[in-house]
Chain A
Amino acid sequence: MPALIELQEITKDYGSFRALDGVSLKIESGVTGLLGPNGAGKTTLIKVLLGLVKTTSGQGRLLNFELGKQAHEIRSHVGYMPEDDCFLHGMSGVESVQFVAQLSLFNPVEALRRAHEILDFCGLAQERYRPVETYSTGMRQKMRFAQAIVHDPPVLILDEPTSGLDPEERQVMLNRIRLLARDQGKAVLICTHILPDVQSISDSVVILARGRVQVANRLSELSRPAVPALEIRLLGEPARFLEALRSRGIPCEERSKGTLLLHGDPTELAAVIWKLAAETGVGIRSLTPSRNSLEEIFLNAVRGEQHDV
């Protein structure tokens, strides 16, 4: 699959501070989560992609447009939702979205029609006629999302798209992003601190720390544990079950009360476990192949353990 974004040894210095340190990346279509602790260089990386700041060294391409040299072409094809609470003073929601569409060279009438269409999609109802200054955080978030997608860009860069949303709205927003990526084929780069959001919709993950790429891989690959294992949750007293496992030579560890981690091939283990459960009279509540959680991956990455670059 061709890379939509390809960066080679991108470095960005702000005076003596190095914000990005030799970042090399390939991002393909689908949803990519861009993670990192505060000050990791995420926002700088986004600004570099948009051509808002010049790199100190390195080169890259976005949709075959060269970073820095073809910034206008890149911005025409990218929808950016900033994290900052930015808005156009004195305008209503629909006027703000229309204005942004006009900046993307829609004619005024078509821009207004499209603005309404997109605001419907984003769930901003009659509030769209109110001045933006009176909006709640959630409404502003929806409006910024509408501004990012109004010109139907093939690439979306969303900085904290779910921050400030209540749990229900957050889920709806994630569904919208999922829909755009899967049904409309858009490449989405999500920059967020909310790991469950990334886990729920991302195909790939990039983790930055101290201006460097610590992890860049597909989430399915990253979630796979180094040693295959099976996680089971039991109903009832696990002592006899554990004894039976040990007598069969199956390595296991008790993670918490009633939760066991068995090392070995999950398919082979599953067949044995059902038998043992029947023999020992223990109920099995769940049985799943063990996976690394994104939180573990993230914490390992920012502590300096490099998984896959």
Chain B
Amino acid sequence: MSEYPEGSPPPAEFTPSAVRPAIPPQNSSEHSVNRLGYRSWSGRLEPMWMRWMVIAAVGVRRAWGSSWLKRMLFLAWLPAVWFSVGFFVWEQAALYPDWHGPAEMLMRSLPPNPVYDEIRDSVDRGDFQTSRHMVWAWMLQSLFRYPQSVLMVLIVGMVAPPLISQDIRSRAFLIYFSRPLSRGEYVLGKLASLWTFLTIVSTAPALVLYVLGVLLSPNLDVIAATWDLPFRILVASMVLMLPTSMLALCLSSLTTETRYASFAWFVIWILGWFTFIAASTATALNSPVVRESRRSFRQARYAMEESSWTHLSLYHTLGRVQSWVFGFAEFQDVLVPVVILTAITLISLLVLLRRISAPMQV
């Protein structure tokens, strides 16, 4: 039963405001319960090195909102599933001679490799122990060089372009840098956003593959034989991430329009790739041995992957350095690609820092 007549407004003593202190309203849309006024704050602050992590977390959260990115990340693990079948077949072949046939098929399906003949000989001898390290490294390098590099280009192309260009467009620099935040922390935070996704598509699948290989192998002695591979995976990830993320952020910092940064990013990769293919194919076709057979043309084309034409393509330059990381090339052979990637990293960083400072200087 109501305490006041039905249909009439409640008397003042029943209204919530009657029991609240009489604070003059600042705004009619505010609720009384929120009218606490200003209260000073005291409490414990987080460590100073956390600032870049705040920027990274926000970058990841904003990118994660894209359903396309989620699909791409899911897709990025499919090649790892395929390579896990490779690890399984190889380890089965090591245990059961019946699996030698599938193991050979596996090797033929992998991209060409300078140690192919060596592996083939040891397989023929039934010596899987000796060739295990080479085959694992070969599969991991193939994972990095082919599917994951392409997926990296796509994912960075989705995540990186808005990271800085939107901050320039919305003039958010004043919000960042009126706080105790250095340019280095800002850049590190943005890079960390990118690295999070790149780790998910490159480092994590490769490490999972390695662990899978260990679990499938006949005994744990395999760890002693392949202990260096996880470290090579980490170095290969760095080779993949550092120049590419720096270049992507540099492009993002050069414009206020996200689409221009995306366009420039994809143009660099696609144009480089096509230029290399065109140049290397033309060279291969002019090779006198090529005219003899289709197979020799293929070999000549693969030989081109180690040629100086690769310097035109960022994709192939990265691939050559990764070959060295996994032990399939000598350092002197990849000196120029290493210099190119280092130069890209440093120049991009310098441009990036300069672009970040620029809005403050006017």
Contact = CB atoms under 8 A, between A and B. Distances in A.
B35 A75 contact: no
Given A89-B166, A120-B35, A123-B26, A105 B178 contact: no
A71 B180 CA distance: 7
B23 to A, nearest CB: 12
A72 B180 CA distance: 4
Nearest to A96: B175
B219 interface: no
A303 B174 CA distance: 32
B35 to A, nearest CB: 7
Interface stretch (B39-47, B82-90, B200-208, B271-279): B39-47
Given A152-B41, A184-B40, A88 B178 contact: no
Given A89-B170, A147-B175, A106 B46 contact: yes
Contact of B51 (A50, A103, A117, A151): A103
Contacts of A85: 171
B171 A84 contact: yes
B266 interface: no
Interface of B: 26-27, 29-31, 34-48, 50-51, 54-55, 58, 62, 65, 162, 166-167, 169-182, 360-362
A174 to B, nearest CB: 12
Contact of A103 (B29, B40, B169, B176): B176
Interface in A75-106: 75-76, 78, 80, 82, 84-91, 96, 99-100, 102-106
A212 interface: no
A34 interface: no
A86 B179 CA distance: 14
Contact of B36 (A72, A84, A106, A117): A117
A179 B38 contact: yes
A120 B171 contact: no
A230 B179 CA distance: 49
Given A52-B360, A86-B170, A120 B36 contact: yes
Given A90-B62, A123-B26, A172-B26, 15 more contacts: A14-B362, A50-B178, A52-B178, A78-B178, A84-B171, A84-B174, A87-B170, A88-B170, A88-B175, A90-B65, A104-B45, A104-B180, A105-B45, A106-B46, A110-B43
A120 B34 contact: yes
Interface of A: 14, 47, 50, 52-53, 71-73, 75-76, 78, 80, 82, 84-91, 96, 99-100, 102-107, 110, 114, 117, 120-121, 123, 125-126, 147, 149, 151-152, 172, 176, 179-180, 183-184
Contacts of B170: 86-89
A179 B35 CA distance: 14
Nearest to A103: B179
Contacts of B180: 71-73, 75-76, 103-104
A100 B41 contact: no
B175 A86 contact: yes
Closest 8 CB pairs of A and B: A86-B171, A80-B178, A120-B34, A105-B45, A152-B41, A72-B180, A89-B166, A82-B174
Contacts of A80: 174, 178
8 contacts: A50-B178, A78-B178, A84-B171, A87-B170, A88-B170, A107-B44, A110-B43, A184-B38
Nearest to A99: B58
Nearest to A105: B45
A52 B180 CA distance: 11
B45 A106 contact: yes
Contact of A86 (B36, B51, B173): B173
Given A75-B180, A86-B170, A123-B26, A102 B34 contact: no
A114 B167 CA distance: 24
Contacts of A176: 38
Nearest to B189: A103
B50 A105 contact: yes
A121 B36 CA distance: 7
B77 to A, nearest CB: 27
Contacts of A126: 29
Contacts of B58: 88, 91, 99
A88 B176 CA distance: 9
Given A120-B35, A125-B27, A89 B172 contact: yes
Given A88-B170, A89-B170, A105 B51 contact: yes
B172 A86 contact: yes
B361 A53 contact: yes
Nearest to B177: A52
A84 to B, nearest CB: 5
A107 B36 contact: no
A133 to B, nearest CB: 8
Given A87-B170, A88-B170, A107 B178 contact: no
Contacts of B175: 82, 86-88, 96, 100, 147
Contacts of A114: 41
Given A90-B65, A105-B50, A106-B45, A125 B30 contact: yes
Contacts of A107: 44, 46
B162 to A, nearest CB: 7
